[in-house]
Amino acid sequence: NNPPWPAYRGYHEYSFAHATMGVRLPTILGKAIDDVVKTLNDEYDEEKIVDLTACIARMEDLMDDLQDNAKLRPIIDDGEGDIPLWNKMIARYFRGKDFMNAPWLFAEAYKYRRLHECFSLSKYWKTYDVFFRQKCDTFSRSSDAVFELSLRFAKPWQQDSSLSQEDALEAKRVMFHELTQICLWGNSTDLSLLINMTEEDIKKLQSTGGDHLAATEQNILGNHLSKVWEYISSSKFGSAGKGGRMDFVLDNAGFELYCDCVYADWLIQSGLCSEIRFHGKRFAWFVSDVTRQDFDWLLNSMIYGQLFPQVSDEELASLREMGARWKEYVKQGKWIYEDHAFWISGYTFWALKEEAPDLFLHLSESDLVVFKGDLNHRKLTFDCHVPPSTPFDVAIGNLATEAGAPPVLSLRTVKSDVVCGIPEGKAEQLDKDEPGWKISGKYAVVLLSEGRKG
């Protein structure tokens, strides 16, 4: 079953869908072609050069299809696990649709799958990531916030043993509150929107200090933080003496992933969680989303990288200490990275149980599934024109109501049209006072659905 509200589509001129399909996607693809040309010019092996030239030709075809608003054709069978998901969906729902009149969410995801196809059909470049250079680069340009966090959180977290039980719990609550927000706001710097940012702009967006967080909390328009703490600190979360299992459906690589890991690190150290599962993408997705390569890159560069030439020995040591601890979690199986094919399909999460029952079952064993970022929020809510005051658990439909649905938390800075779970009248007021508020990344939501694990 689908929601009763219409989905956003590229031809909706009032929506961010229009600018994205018409302007942003061709720009992003143009930059991706530049990246591949750079790689081509650095290559010396003729066979690989010829193979890469064919990838570029396929990218140019994709550019033509985008600019000519071509019909969406099936994905060529490259033997990968997500092909049936894609082609079944095209055949069932979108036969004859083009980039502009198919639902925005599907058409945009389709573009990234076609981009992957440009490489998956090659011999030598199957796993090439056209966005890898950019992802690494933005992380190294985030040095202020990176070290602010590492200096604070590298040393193992310990609670003052002289605190009463009540004070100890309160101290944990405060930390939880702060770190959840660090994890939330880490989402404001995704590459698809911020490609041309200066170091100063990035700094402003990434400020993680206490005062800054208190001020930005006012920008969380629908805020279930207290409810989340109530759940996590109760006996319903995890099992006594063992802590819970939390799953992160990741969004962006680099700084956002770093914030996610700082959060996950504390959740383990505090004893609230015993296991964290990170869900990433199998290939380059929506510019900056995390792949396994990005995950490995982050942990390795924290220890071995020379990304920050200006830093002090103390800063460097803090980053190394934290990176080493995180790698240890991976070795011990406390942190697990996974990448199911469903996350790189065109389906919304309303179809999770039906189209990926194995994944649904797997997630239903989690104590909390945290969905990071804007795209995941769009997928949770079917990316449709839902009235903004609609409660979150109504807006996410099946994922809240189906038997076995896990508790779901969305940590999202608002960067596109769909908004739910905010007070009546708020969206209308912002439409009047701050046009563009839905795509600025200034506002956020922290929304919880309790699920139906029963």
Q: Per-residue string for binding with ligand F6P, 354-373, x by CB under 6 A?
A: -------------------x
Smallest separation, CB 133 to ligand F6P (Å):
18
Site size with ligand F6P, rule: CB under 6 A: 16
* 375/422 with CB nearer ligand F6P: 375
Using the rule CB under 6 A, give the single segment among 168-176, 187-195, 326-334, 419-427 that binds ligand F6P. 187-195
Applying CB under 6 A, among 9, 113, 114, 378 the residue interacting with ligand F6P is 378
Q: Per-residue string for binding with ligand F6P, 401-430, x by CB under 6 A?
A: --------------xx--------------
* 186/323 with CB nearer ligand F6P: 186
- Assess 141 for contact with ligand F6P (CB under 6 A): no
Smallest separation, CB 411 to ligand F6P (Å):
10
Applying CB under 6 A, among 134, 138, 180, 192 the residue interacting with ligand F6P is 192
Interface contacts to Mg ion, rule CB under 5 A: 190, 251-252, 286, 289
Using the rule CB under 6 A, give the single segment among 41-49, 121-129, 188-196, 299-307 that binds ligand F6P. 188-196
Smallest separation, CB 136 to ligand F6P (Å):
17
Applying CB under 6 A, among 143, 150, 181, 187 the residue interacting with ligand F6P is 187
User: Which does residue 128 touch among Mg ion, ligand F6P, none (CB within 5 to 8 A, set by kind)?
Assistant: none
- Assess 138 for contact with ligand F6P (CB under 6 A): no
Contacts of residue 412, defined as CB under 8 A and 6 or more positions apart, other chains included, come to 184, 187, 371, 372, 373, 374, 376, 377, 444, 445, 447
- Assess 294 for contact with ligand F6P (CB under 6 A): no
Residues that bind ligand F6P (CB under 6 A): 20, 24, 108, 187, 190, 192-193, 251-252, 286, 373-375, 378, 415-416
